[in-house]
Structure 1
Amino acid sequence: MPTDRLVPVLATALLLAAPTHAQDAAAPEATTENDFALACAFDRECYDAEACAETAYEMTVSGRVGGMGAGVVLARATLSAVSGDVEVFGTLGGGTLFLQGGEGAARHYLAVTDGAARYSLHMAEGPVAITYLGACE
């Protein structure tokens, strides 16, 4: 699903609320029109300064948008891949979803515009950066 279809009706002022751990354990949150899910497939991997190579890296993105403003909303999501889950936050506006997050010595960044996606992982050790190019639907 292209990200421009993820923009909720902006006439309603919505606040993005992070659930507490107690709420998570008690019951799952209800699905709303502000929830979104993307399946991402990356076919190019660029490891630091080395040449890019083919890959078959995949992840899913599930989250919720909200907030208020003229065309830009806040986004909170989870990136899920074989390496684990990462909580991220960012914005959705002008047809582009920007997400960032991570903890410890690694940071994750995802940008999706019209289905085209770039995901990068930046690690303090090295330091090293890995970039993936592909698409999210």
Structure 2
Amino acid sequence: MNPDEKHAQLVRVPTWMWLDRAMWQPVTETAKVPGLTVTATAIPQRATWVMGDGKTVACEGAGTPYSAKYAADSASPDCGHTYLRSSARQPDEAYTVLVTVFWDVTWHGGGEQGVVPGLQSQAEAPVRVAEAQALVRS
């Protein structure tokens, strides 16, 4: 995330979310027992982020990592969210953000093959969202 989860997000400032590109790759494993070998390949399909404020963001890929080449107030081109309320009234003053990655698994072995769609892996993190107040004086 940008800002990362160690720092507070800011109300009405876009939050960028992305997953490690090294993780967003097909994973292939082979299992062998006497007389049978089965190979399975898991391919990430999409990620769903439950933002803790009642909103859910669906991303078709890993998301775009934030970098300094983007304006600080720019929204992510493919996986972002803007908080509208502070997390101050939440337990531990943080929203719990849950990301679920959906995988399709293809397999073959023993003269058979198939697809197992919709397998999931998840991670969660507390995210503080602060609200900055401005005072205009003339």
Shared fold, TM over 0.5 = no
Query: For this structure pair, what is the TM-score category when the shorter chain's length is used for normalisation?
Result: under 0.3
The TM-score normalised by the length of structure 1 is 0.21
Larger-Rg structure: 2
Name the structure with the higher strand share: 1
